[in-house]
Amino acid sequence: MTQVEFFGEPPPGIDQDWLPGRLIAIEGTDGVGRSTVISILKDYLEAQGWGVVDSGLRRSPLVGPGIDQAKVGHTLDPITLNLFYATDFWDRFERIMLPALQAGMVVLADRYIFSLMARAIVRGASREWLEQIYGFAMVPDQVVYLDIDAEDLVLRILERGFDYWESGGDYLHEVSIYDGFMVHQREQLREMSLMAERYGWDVVDARGPIEEVFEQVRLAVMPTIEGMPQDAR
């Protein structure tokens, strides 16, 4: 059983002293291979008999469509954007992640609050303000960070094209979209690396083939999952 811990003040309405499930966050920037690794890991765990739920950014039926619509116009300021994402996160946690953890399932989070904070910090948001906003978030049982550098990442992104927001188009106005991508990603990756050290994440080199990356992730998370109560399987 896992004691429920939060980064700040516990949110109201959650009075459980423990949760039999496990919350594992897979962190990393856009294009690093998170979603693919999570998909393979979910299939693997289910084949072994584990109940698995995955959840990612903007998947809240309450807020997700609104975020997508608001981002189309490229006019969102950082404060509004972060409040949107914080609402999305809370809705998914309350409706999807928490019930699954109560039921003894493995929850695979395709990014957690850390990516959201890193994105905001490189845009000039206060770290203290962000820690207050996301203080309601539960501390994951494990975070696995898929590490890559901007030079390797851009080769993957070139195949599908640059995203306005992931290239810092909303605040890097005087550079090309390529240069903006490199600047934004280097700063964001630097911030994520600092978080990995600060919070003691498991770091996996994501530069290799997806099969190798998955195997590293599998080896990292299995001790956490196998430590679950026997009746959770």
User: Secondary structure of 35-81 in the HEC alphabet?
Assistant: HHHHHHHHHHHHHCCCCEEEEECCCCCCCHHHHHHHHHCCCCCHHHH
100 to 19, 47, 54, 143, 206: CA distances (angstroms): 9, 18, 10, 18, 28
Q: What is the model's pLDDT at position 15?
A: 60
| Contact present, 211 and 34 (Cβ < 8 Å) | no
Query: What's residue 90's pLDDT?
Result: 92
- Residue 71 pLDDT: 76
Ordered structural domains, the chain, with CATH: 2-10+20-227 (3.40.50.300)
pLDDT value at residue 226: 93
Measured from the Cβ of residue 61, the count of other Cβ atoms closer than 10 Å reads 11
> What is the per-residue pLDDT for 18?
72
> What confidence score (pLDDT) does residue 78 get?
76
pLDDT at 127: 92
**Burial of residue 151, with CB atoms counted within 10 A of its CB: 0-12 exposed, 13-18 middle, 19 or more buried:** exposed
Residues of the chain with pLDDT under 50: 1
Res 23: pLDDT: 96
In whole numbers, what is the pLDDT of the chain averaged over residues?
90
Sequence letter at residue 46 = E
